[in-house]
Structure 1
Amino acid sequence: MAGHSKWANIKRQKAVVDAKRAKTFTQLSRAIIVAARSGIPDPAGNFQLRTAIDKAKAAGIPNDNIERAIAKGAGTFGGDNNSLEAIRYEGYGPGGVAILVEALTDNRNRTAADLRAAFSKNGGNLGEMGCVSWMFSQKGVCTVEGVVDEEQLLEASLEGGAESYEMTEAEIAEVFSAVEDLETLNKTLNEKSFQVTDTELRWIPSNSVEVTDADQARSLLKLIDTLEGLDDVQNVTSNFEMSESLMALSIV
């Protein structure tokens, strides 16, 4: 199974076990701040903000925290959050695996130093901008649960402008679209009574690297876990393929 899909599933399982609440709250609050700053601070007219708020509510973030994050993004709350900027970093993991890291930071030097240390201590190296991003294309992704009729999903997806879909688990599908069609796809699937549990922009690899060595697998999964644990990191995407038995090393 593709690393980006299976790893997402494992992360969801680990989140339940580890309950990394503070980290999750920080990530989602920052996403709200940036979304509110990049468009109007009204979720009704800002799809990015609406999606960020939905994720925050699903994670159990109190409404007061959400409203405060919106106010910070709109510049009506105060503080130094206006200095947050979105940056993408690129590098290689063990076995030549390509890794993209999306961060929100108020200090580029600190973030770069943290990332460089994480890569070097776990068998990888932080590269220059553009060194691996050419292997990825950004897509809109809707995760749909409770799929019992693939024909109905296909019809609704096509109507919403989807490019493809993939059944990742029993009754769970990921529906892919062009970035600009994600809002339409999300709206159409909901109107067709599908259970959309997540909506996001994701970097999809055009090629993959198969990892078969146990030591490399352990180092790679530790690297990704370390990167995701950094305060400034929002998302980590890679292009590895790995068996489920090796993937299980991440939760041992």
Structure 2
Amino acid sequence: MSGHSKWKTIQHKKGAADAKRGKIFSRLSKELMVVARQGGSDPSMNPTLRTAIQKAKAANMPADNIDRAVKKGAGEIEGVIFEEIVYEGYASGGVGLIVMALTDNKNRAAAEIRHIFTKNNSSFADKGSVSRGFERKGQIIIDASATDEETLMELALEAGADDIKTEEEAFEILTDPSAYTDVMDALAKAEIATINSEISMVPLTTVPVSDPSQAKSVLKFIEALEDNDDVQNVYSNMDIADEIMDELESGE
């Protein structure tokens, strides 16, 4: 699990995600609208939509909100049209970032995201220069107290997972995007709750960060990007040393 993913897991467990629930629902609504517009409103015929609905349900998004977003995207009721834009760049220490945005105004999004990069002494990179170091994977994070490793491994691998990684406080399941829904269905059937689940960009290699000030600086930069209304997801290849992660978690 990359350092950024570890940090998001820590924040979620602390309840920090609850404070941003409205923003999370807004992002999920955008995603639902886009995938419904691209592939239709029937989840059985649109696997990408089915995955997005599953993700929204995992975040406890109300069913009415999900249904309304899907109908807006499919054109069944009036709604805004969003476009997906991907930006790539580097933070301090050569940490690679992929910023995925959904926006109804590409010029505004580009200007605001570029401003955040500039403010953090960073700049955009050429298309592909960062993303070639990542692969698209289903990523599912489960609290270590929710189940045991043997049970989870048997269930997940049987459902089609590629790999399971064990951290001190959480399990990370990685799947091919095509198997993501099957694994999520198997977890739901076994009543194993997830901390976070998504189709993610997972780094092939990571950039070690052992300096506390650099780790804090990069995380602050990422949080500024995530606070932007047009930004859906930020992915990084940062690997924060365990002792620094412990320090950040304790708030020292």
TM range (shorter): 0.7 to 0.9
Q: State the one-letter code of the partner of 1:162.
A: A
Q: 1:128 to 1:60 in 2, by over 3 A?
A: same
The answer to whether the 8 Å contact 2:11/2:17 transfers is: no
3-state SS, counterpart of residue 222 of structure 1:
helix
Query: Percent same amino acid at aligned positions?
Result: 44
- Is the 2:206–2:239 contact (alpha carbons within 8 Å) kept by the matching residues of 1? yes
Quote the offset at 1:205 in angstroms: 0.9
Shift, 1:153, TM fit: 2.1
Show structure 1 runs of 5+ residues with no match.
none
Q: 1:228 to 1:38 in 2, by over 3 A?
A: same
Secondary structure at 2:127's aligned position in 1? coil
Q: 1:190 to 1:24 in 2, by over 3 A?
A: closer
Find out whether 1:161 has 2:152 as its counterpart.
no
Question: Given the alignment of the two structures, is residue 8 of structure 1 paired with residue 3 of structure 2, yes or no?
Answer: no
Q: Is the 8 A contact 1:92 1:126 kept in 2?
A: yes
Return the offset for 1:237.
0.8
The equivalent residue for 2:212 is 214
- In 1, Cα distance between equivalents of 2:191 and 2:167: 16
Question: What is the RMSD computed on CA atoms of the aligned residues?
Answer: 2.5
Rounded to whole Å, the distance in 2 between the matches of 1:148 and 1:15 is 21
Q: Secondary structure at the match of 1:91?
A: strand
Give the Cα separation in 2 of the matches to 1:245 and 1:91.
27
Runs of at least 5 residues in structure 2 that lack an aligned partner in the other structure: none
Over 3 Å counting, the alpha-carbon distance change for 1:188 and 1:28 in structure 2 is: same
> What is the deviation of 1:155?
2.2
Contact 2:147/2:192, CA 8 A, preserved across alignment? no
Deviation, structure 1 residue 15? 5.2
TM-score normalised to structure 2 length: 0.86
Q: Name which of structure 1's ranges 197-206 and 66-75 shifts more when overlaid on structure 2.
A: 197-206
How many aligned positions are there?
A: 248
Q: Find the aligned partners of 1:240 and 1:22 in 2 and give their Cα distance.
A: 27
For the pair 1:195 / 2:188, whether they are aligned, the reply is no
Task: Name the counterpart of 2:183.
Answer: 185
Give distance in 2, aligned partners of 1:32 and 1:212. Answer: 38
TM-score by length of 1: 0.86
CA drift of 1:58 comes to: 4.6
Q: In the TM superposition, what is the alpha-carbon distance from 1:10 to its structure 2 partner?
A: 3.0
Match in the other structure for 2:40: 40
Whole-Å separation in 1 of the counterparts to 2:14 and 2:117: 22
Tell me the alpha carbon deviations over residues 72-116 of structure 1, each in whole angstroms, 9 at most, x when there is no partner. Answer: 11111113x23x122221000011100011111122221111111
**Matched residue of 2:167: which SS?**
strand
Shift of 1:160: 1.8
| Matched residue SS, 2:216 | helix
Q: 1:67: which partner in 2?
A: 67
Q: 2:235 aligns with which of 223, 234, 237?
A: 237
In the alignment, the residues of structure 2 paired with residue 96 and residue 158 of structure 1 have an alpha-carbon distance, to the nearest angstrom, of 34
After the TM superposition, list the runs of 4 or more consecutive aligned residues in structure 1 that deviate by more than 6 angstroms.
none
User: What is the deviation of 1:245?
Assistant: 4.9
1:20 matched to which residue of 2? Answer: 20
Deviation at 1:51, TM superposition (A): 3.6
Which of 229-238 and 206-215 deviates more? 206-215
Residue 41 (structure 1) shift: 0.9
- For residues 132 and 148 of structure 2, the distance between their equivalents in structure 1, rounded to whole angstroms, comes to 36
